[in-house]
């Protein structure tokens, strides 16, 4: 059905199955089987980047929202599914196993949970329902031309003027800024401050006068990332998370949430299924390729076990090193799968696009070198 080879279980049953109870699993399976129509699955399979086509995202989001499952990790009182980690993992892996459209919902995964954890009641009442309705799409404005790995070097200037801040400067590599209605960002509100001090974490509407978004075209023709320029952009000081001058704390909270909400096993299995399909279509298959595909399946199984244990808090290491291990293994394995896929289907449009799309994965959310530094530090290297 999927172009898979009989001796390789590309679609092996998620190891996390046993940890979500049978009734829950049956309910999820029935919903996904009924809701994921063939056109939605086809849109999911055709996705090479981080987000499926807009129509498919909208249709799938609406079905999830109607069932109350659009925000799996949010508490029920804020409109979420209120699931345990095991339930969320099962749902996400089961969705990926059926090629559900990929929703790059930063509102649900990152800023929404931060607003629940640290926002004011007014912010919760305004932003959370809008995220659930799909009315607000968010992007993350952290990196700048001189501030990437060393984020604390950022310099977007936030000058206080009455009840507002006035923003001047720019952000770089802002994914989906060209689609987003809002950006959460870090800006420097104390002009003489350095490093992690003197920052403010702001929630900014993208429609404010003075914001200019310029897409960056990648080698594969995609325009997912952007430069964003701020020319005296007025935005309310009340639209901030945490105290003025202490924005770094909110950013750290947000990164911890993003790490704990991120599930990658399903993405890897999808990539491997695509490799099998490509190999079946191209007919370029030999013993060496079969071995490589089998090796990828084995590595995904290992990764899945690690991800499930880490997410459930069963790995007794600090959160930051554990998430660095996951980020490194997942992105490097994803790239390795797309390399095998390209070997299997050298002339395939999908294999080529997917190969290019995964190159940046070892750069964003912290480069591999930076994560290796974190791990080296964690095991006591000088």
Q: How many CB atoms lie within 10 A of CB 319?
A: 14
Interface residues for ligand FAD in 349-368 (CB under 6 A)?
Answer: 360, 363-364, 366-367
Q: Which of 16, 105, 225, 323 binds ligand FAD (CB under 6 A)?
A: 225
Structure-token pair, residue 264:
């990658």
Interface residues for ligand FAD in 226-245 (CB under 6 A)?
Answer: none
CB of 50 to ligand FAD, least distance (A): 9
Between 123 and 143, name the residue whose CB sits nearer to ligand FAD.
143
Structure-token pair, residue 161:
């003027």
Number of residues engaging ligand FAD in binding (CB under 6 A): 19
For residue 198, what are the CA distances in angstroms to 153, 187, 229, 248, 249?
A: 11, 9, 21, 9, 11
φ, ψ of residue 378 to 5 degrees: the values are -65, -30
In the three-class reduction of DSSP (H, G, I as helix; E, B as strand; rest coil), residue 146 is classed as coil
Q: How many CB atoms lie within 10 A of CB 312?
A: 14
Between 11 and 227, name the residue whose CB sits nearer to ligand FAD.
227
Contact flag: residue 331 with ligand FAD (CB under 6 A):
no
Partners of 334 in beta bridges = none
Q: How many CB atoms lie within 10 A of CB 193?
A: 12
Binding-site string for ligand FAD from residue 124 to residue 143, where x marks contact by CB under 6 A and - marks none: ---------------xxxxx
Q: How many CB atoms lie within 10 A of CB 381?
A: 9
Q: Which of 120, 298, 369, 377 binds ligand FAD (CB under 6 A)?
A: 369
Contact flag: residue 149 with ligand FAD (CB under 6 A):
yes
Interface residues for ligand FAD in 166-195 (CB under 6 A)?
Answer: 173-175
CB of 97 to ligand FAD, least distance (A): 26
Reported as half-sphere exposure (CB side, CA atoms, 13 A), residue 262 has a value of 19
In the three-class reduction of DSSP (H, G, I as helix; E, B as strand; rest coil), residue 53 is classed as coil
Binding-site string for ligand FAD from residue 90 to residue 129, where x marks contact by CB under 6 A and - marks none: ----------------------------------------
State how far the Cα of 340 lies from the Cα of 290, in Å rounded to an integer: 10
CB of 241 to ligand FAD, least distance (A): 16
CB of 40 to ligand FAD, least distance (A): 26
CB of 183 to ligand FAD, least distance (A): 9
State how far the Cα of 25 lies from the Cα of 8, in Å rounded to an integer: 24
Reported as half-sphere exposure (CB side, CA atoms, 13 A), residue 321 has a value of 12
Between 10 and 177, name the residue whose CB sits nearer to ligand FAD.
177
CB of 369 to ligand FAD, least distance (A): 3
Between 72 and 148, name the residue whose CB sits nearer to ligand FAD.
148
CB of 143 to ligand FAD, least distance (A): 3
Q: How many CB atoms lie within 10 A of CB 150?
A: 10
Chain residues binding ligand FAD by CB under 6 A are: 139-143, 148-149, 173-175, 225, 360, 363-364, 366-367, 369-370, 373
């Amino acid at each position: 059905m999927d172009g898979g080879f009989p001796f390789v279980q590309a679609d092996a049953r998620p190891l996390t199955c046993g940890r979500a109870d049978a009734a829950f699993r049956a309910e999820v399976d029935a919903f996904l089987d009924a809701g994921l129509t063939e056109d939605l699955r086809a849109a999911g399979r055709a996705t090479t980047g981080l987000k499926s086509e807009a129509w498919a995202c909208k249709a799938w989001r609406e079905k999830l929202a109607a069932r109350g499952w659009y925000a799996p990790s949010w508490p029920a009182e804020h409109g979420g599914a209120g699931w345990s980690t095991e339930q969320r993992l099962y749902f996400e892996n089961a969705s990926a196993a059926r090629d559900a459209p990929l929703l790059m919902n930063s509102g649900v995964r990152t800023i929404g949970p931060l607003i629940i954890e640290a926002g004011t009641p007014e912010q919760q009442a305004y932003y959370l329902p809008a995220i659930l309705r799909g009315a607000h799409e968010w992007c993350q404005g952290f990196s700048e031309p001189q501030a990437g790995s060393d984020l604390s070097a950022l310099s977007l200037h936030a000058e206080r003027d009455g009840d507002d801040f006035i923003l001047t400067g720019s952000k770089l590599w802002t994914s989906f800024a060209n689609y987003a209605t809002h950006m959460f960002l870090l800006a420097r509100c104390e002009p003489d401050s350095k490093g992690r001090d003197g920052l403010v974490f702001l929630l900014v509407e993208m429609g404010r006068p003075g914001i200019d978004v310029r897409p960056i075209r990648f080698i594969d023709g995609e325009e997912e990332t952007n430069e964003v320029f701020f020319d005296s952009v007025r935005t309310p000081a009340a639209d901030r998370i945490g105290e003025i001058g202490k924005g770094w704390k909110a950013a750290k909270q947000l990164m911890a949430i993003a790490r704990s909400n991120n599930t990658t096993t399903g993405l890897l299995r999808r990539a491997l299924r695509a490799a099998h399909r490509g190999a079946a279509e191209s007919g370029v298959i030999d013993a060496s390729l079969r071995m490589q595909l089998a090796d990828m399946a084995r590595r995904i199984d290992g990764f899945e076990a690690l991800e499930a244990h880490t997410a459930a808090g069963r790995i007794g290491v600090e959160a930051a090193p554990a998430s660095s291990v996951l980020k490194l293994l997942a992105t490097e394995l994803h790239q390795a799968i797309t390399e095998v896929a390209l070997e299997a289907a050298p002339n395939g449009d999908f294999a080529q696009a997917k190969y290019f799309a995964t190159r940046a994965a070892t750069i964003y959310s912290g480069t591999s070198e930076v994560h290796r530094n974190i791990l080296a530090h964690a095991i006591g290297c000088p």
